[in-house]
Structure formats: structure tokens, C-alpha cells
Amino acid sequence: MLTVYFDEPFWVGVFEESDRGKLSACRVVFGAEPTDAQIYAFVLNNYNRLPFSPPVEAAEKQKADNPKRRRRNARRQLESAGIGTKSQQALQKQYENNKTERLQRSREQRDAEKQRQFELKRQKRREKHRGR
């Protein structure tokens, strides 16, 4: 399922996949307001390459006949579900995973740079000691 909405200052699309009670989502920024043809072309060309979030548990939606019961259930779900929709929670989970990976990569790069600087200093000391 694709939902397109305006998120100041860009148009954004949220793709949702549900499989066996698990939901994955992907957020795509379109920029200017896309036409139906542009969205269709984007889906045809790029859907297989979209980075979907890790799956999140999602209960199947049930239809209640009684409007009072429907309102009551909606209030309970809002109180128990926490902030955001399942798609937003899936996107948040993906964001957190990307953040931890980015922090780990930057830490490794920083350590490698420190080691390189240390080796350079050691080499300079050895050259001075040898009288070169």
C-alpha cells in the first residue's frame, strides 16, 4: 500500500508491506507534487530496490458493527499503541538501526585514524633515533 502526503516542504510517500501479521515500511521523498503517472513510473522502476524497515508485529484490523464499540476500541488502541502508526513505528525502528550502524562505522573510522596517527608518530621517532 502507498500513501502520499505533504510533509512541509516536500511530498512524501510511505510504502507499507504486510506479511503474516508483520508490517514493513519505507519512506520516499518525492520533492514537488508528483502526478499519478510519475508515482506509477516510480513504483514500476524502483519498488524492488526500496529499503524497507525490519518487520514489526501488526494485528489485523477488525471491523466492528456498532459505532459506539468502534469508538471505544479506537480509544483503547490509541492509549495502548503509543505514539504513531505501525508504519511510523517501523520507520522509527529502521532509523534507529541506521543510526547504530552509522555510529559503529564512525567509531571504527576514528579508531583507524588514531592508529594511523600513532604509527606515523612511531615511525618519525624511529627515524630521528637512527639519525636520518
Q: What is the pLDDT of residue 30?
A: 85
Q: What is the pLDDT of residue 60?
A: 65
DSSP characters over 71-101: HHHHHHHHHHH-SS-HHHHHHHHHHHHHHHH
Instruction: Show me where the domains of the chain are located.
Output: 2-130
At which residue does the C-alpha cell 585514524 appear? 113
Q: What is the mean pLDDT of each run of 10 residues along the chain (132 residues)?
A: 82 85 85 85 86 78 74 81 74 91 96 96 88 61
How much is the pTM? 0.46
Q: What is the pLDDT of residue 107?
A: 96
